[in-house]
Chains A and B, each alone.
Chain A
């Protein structure tokens, strides 16, 4: 069974810290991996998409890496801000059909 796991489930940090969110997947034969952000009462917003042939993607203060051999991806957030508080979800496309398998998410709280 293809599963995606995110640890930790919740994280609280003071403003300004650099932090890493983790995502692991059971089958290394992935097509791509995405990181999403979800704010309470709202839908998901795509942050970064990494193709299986890539090792990392960057957007502003966000950097996502992919290590297929170990079945892991990390989302690095630099200089965290209270506005970064949200749930971060990792999703894997295993078969290029755009059918995503999501992890359970990490709920991030950045305290001023």
Chain B
């Protein structure tokens, strides 16, 4: 069974630039999650989708972050404009509804 795929694996940008991350969940998983993991900390949930609807985005900084899952499968997370404090690993996870989450390898973002 293929796991959660994420791209790119690494990204370096200047502050105030834009960046987008892509996630392809495990086939059949209705629920998709985006987490932000700052170095030395645990992951923080940014947004949770069920199919193509948002379940929770209370911790998503909506002035600069946006996410979509238009067809209920793949998802993109965008940051515009990026700040230095956005440097982190962005993890995508997926699950069947109410079941254990499977995580992708993450995208490491460095903002200079």
Contacts and interface: CB of A to CB of B under 8 A. Distances in A.
A101 B33 CA distance: 13
Interface residues of B, number: 23
A98 B50 CA distance: 11
Contact of B91 (A34, A44, A99, A104): A44
A45 interface: yes
B4 A43 contact: yes
Interface stretch (A11-19, A60-68, A71-79, A89-97): A89-97
A62 B91 CA distance: 25
Interface string B79-112: 0000000000001010100111111111000000
Interface of B: 4, 31, 40-45, 48, 55-56, 91, 93, 95, 98-106
Interface of A: 4, 6, 9, 34, 41-46, 49, 89, 91, 96-105
